[in-house]
Amino acid sequence: MKIASVSENKSIEKRIAITPEIAKKYISNGFELFLTKNYGDHLGFKDEEYESFGVKFSSDQKEVLVKSDIIIQLGLLSDENLSILKENQSLIGILDPYSNKEKINNLIKKKINSFSLELLPRITRAQSMDILSSQANLAGYKAVIESFAFFEKAIPMMMTAAGTVPAAKVLVVGAGVAGLQAIATAKRMGAIVFATDVRIASKEQVESLGGKFLTVEGSENLETEGGYAKEASEDFKKKQEELLAETLKKIDIVICTALIPGKRAPVIVKKPMIENMRAGSIIYDLAAIQGGNTELTEVDKIIENNGVKIMGETNILNKLPTSASNLYAKNVFNFIINLYDKENKKININLEDEIIDKTLIK
């Protein structure tokens, strides 16, 4: 069975889906691998390294795609490449079915199996395949590093003969995987860390990392069965706004991570709150690509309002592409091994397997 991957548009996506380490694993499991020339060159992964394991290359993307059974990418292929896919091929990646509904429906009509890995169920057996967790972990870490780079004061408390420099105060909005990593990173670097989340269950996790959990009095647990946050009631939002408004007056750096799958990111930090923050404060909005958690967020821009800088990028993982690719490639490999019937050398779309059923777009 042939697995293929073609180069992404590197101006948008620097990550790759197959690293040399994982290429070796695929081949040892009986797969053939077919990649486009210079596939991992920009990350220091030379074609010769892949070829030493038996990977084949072509400079023709069409040839790579047409000759494959399984295609692994980060995002959805270009329209031109999608048009050449044929019946019974399988496309695996972060396909964003909410935004690409029409394109994916066309693939379904052509009887192309489309597996979108962000739809993986949050069950123990799927943890090794969980691309959202592995990528969010890195994003949370990098968001802290980026915001600290723009902050023009020291982060840890420093006691000197000339006086004491107070520790920076960080607020993390949303305590999912990205948020928890942001808390851990900021804490390691000496900041005083606060966090807020609509899921009460995250309180224990925040506190275990040394953060202080801010909660609205009498709040309910707004968590879905899948472990994601769900939309809050208007009453909760009002109480949360009041708590946030007071807290933000004392905060130096805010890391926003709150997302609702398939919907616009909730607007949590309003303009009046930002205007009451101290000049020189930083907001890094990881939800920027889905509209942002602040009213002022603009993707790939640094907005300054009343001395406060607000920033957020299309893809922060482009700043950690090697680490992100290594984790993503391992996640996808584990997914394919679960999908593959080694004895009969074909994929087995067993819809009784929750992992396959939830990720296959039907």
Cα gap 251→312, rounded to integer Å: 18
Cα gap 103→29, rounded to integer Å: 32
Cα gap 131→151, rounded to integer Å: 30
Identify whether 133 is a catalytic site residue: yes
- The active-site residue out of 28, 127, 208, 233 is 127
Identify whether 127 is a catalytic site residue: yes
Both tokens assigned to 211: 């953060």
- The active-site residue out of 68, 90, 114, 133 is 133
- The active-site residue out of 122, 128, 278, 357 is 122
Both tokens assigned to 24: 């070796």
- The active-site residue out of 50, 89, 114, 130 is 130
Backbone angles phi, psi at 334, to 5 degrees: -60, -35
Q: Which DSSP string corresponds to 90-134?
A: EEEE---TTT-HHHHHHHHHTT-EEEEGGG----GGGGGG-HHHH
Both tokens assigned to 52: 């030493």
Q: Which residue has the tokens 């879905």?
A: 224
Estimate the share of the chain in helix, then strand, then coil, as percent rounded to the nearest 5: 40, 20, 45
- The active-site residue out of 47, 58, 188, 228 is 228
Identify whether 98 is a catalytic site residue: no
Q: Nearest 5 degrees, angle CA 73-CA 137-CA 233?
A: 100
Backbone angles phi, psi at 295, to 5 degrees: -70, -20
Cα gap 167→132, rounded to integer Å: 31
Query: What is the distance between the terminal CA atoms of the chain, rounded to a whole angstrom?
Result: 23
* Alpha helices (H) along the chain: 20-28, 47-51, 61-66, 79-82, 101-109, 131-150, 177-188, 202-208, 234-248, 271-275, 321-339, 354-359
The answer to whether 19 and 329 are in contact (CB under 8 A) is yes
Question: Helix crossing, 131-150 with 321-339: angle to 10°?
Answer: 170
Residues annotated catalytic, as ranges: 122, 127, 130, 133, 228
